[in-house]
Amino acid sequence: MSFLKLYFRSPPAVIGLLLLMLVLAMAISADWLYPRDPLALAGRPLIWPFSNPRFLLGTDNSGRDIAAQIFHGARISLLIGLVATLISVVIGITIGAVAGYYGDWVDTILMRVTEAFQTLPNFILLLVLVAVFGSTITTVTVAIGIVSWPASARLTRAEFLSLRNREFVQAGRTLGLRDVKLIFGEILPNALPPVIVYASVVMAIAILLESALAFLKLSDPNVASWGNLIGAGRDVLRVQWYVSAIPGVAILVTVLAVSLVGQGLNDALNPRLKGR
């Protein structure tokens, strides 16, 4: 059975994909539906949703259109999630592959470094990096990727430990293939499926971490992100709760979509589930 058939056999995976496509459509259509700067003042502050046809989702406490920020924020959240995940997975795969392939003292050193990163919670380490290097959107994205790699490294290492002595690897060594070719050309393609599945978890965590930073006003205030909108609504949470609730729902839907897609990938790529 093909990969697509296995994936679409799972209703939650299909729902996750549809939700993710909806968020992607919002990001793509943002400039067309809301061509103005989403952070520009658009009307009277704190207009409730659906009370004014010009502002379908109302305005925040500065008079900015919430719908415009939601659509443009979809682009920011997806971009942060994808780039941070790519950085995290590349670092994790490189360290985990080298540690798992060579073993011995190389494995010991690299795993001690990995454990050192895991002694501090991700968010605490992220706060330190942002405090030192600044809170531009580029810095925040790179910092999220840097603090998220240890789990990918451990997963990749475990896969390499189980694959490095297989017959096809021994055959490659017999043929004189170099270590780099064996690691990235022979073993890594067989070790990637669980890492790809875990990447969806990293992406969801990356979106949540940026939102948490923005809520604390430590993210880039010059971009229309969902976290910044939640942070803006914090001051009027008791009376105009919708300012924080609307972007909160957007984050919930996006994280749920990514998680369901990841579960679908696991069902489609896991050989132990293909026979079910």
Tell me the per-residue pLDDT of 68-100, one tens digit each, with 9 for 90 and over: 999 999 998 899 999 999 999 999 999 999 999
- The CA-atom distances, in angstroms, between 95 and each of 17, 55, 81, 125, 216 are 31, 49, 21, 19, 32
Tell me the per-residue pLDDT of 2-42, one tens digit each, with 9 for 90 and over. Answer: 777 878 888 888 999 999 999 999 999 999 999 988 888 88
Q: Where are the alpha helices (DSSP H) in the chain?
A: 3-8, 11-33, 66-102, 104-118, 122-133, 137-147, 150-163, 167-174, 179-181, 188-215, 226-233, 242-269
Q: Cβ atoms within 10 A of the Cβ of 98, count? A: 18
Q: Which residue has the higher pLDDT, 267 or 221?
A: 221
* pLDDT (0 to 100) of residue 215: 82
* pLDDT (0 to 100) of residue 231: 84
Q: Cβ atoms within 10 A of the Cβ of 122, count? A: 18
Q: Cβ atoms within 10 A of the Cβ of 175, count? A: 9
- Residue 266: band (very low, low, confident or very high) from pLDDT cuts 50, 70, 90: confident
Model pTM above 0.75: yes
- Residue 276: band (very low, low, confident or very high) from pLDDT cuts 50, 70, 90: very low
Q: Is the separation of the CB atoms in 16 and 256 below 8 Å?
A: yes
Distance of CA 71 to the CA centre of its chain: 18
- Residue 156: band (very low, low, confident or very high) from pLDDT cuts 50, 70, 90: very high
Residue 180 identity: V
Distance CA 12, CA 185 (A): 33
Structure tokens at 13: 């995976």
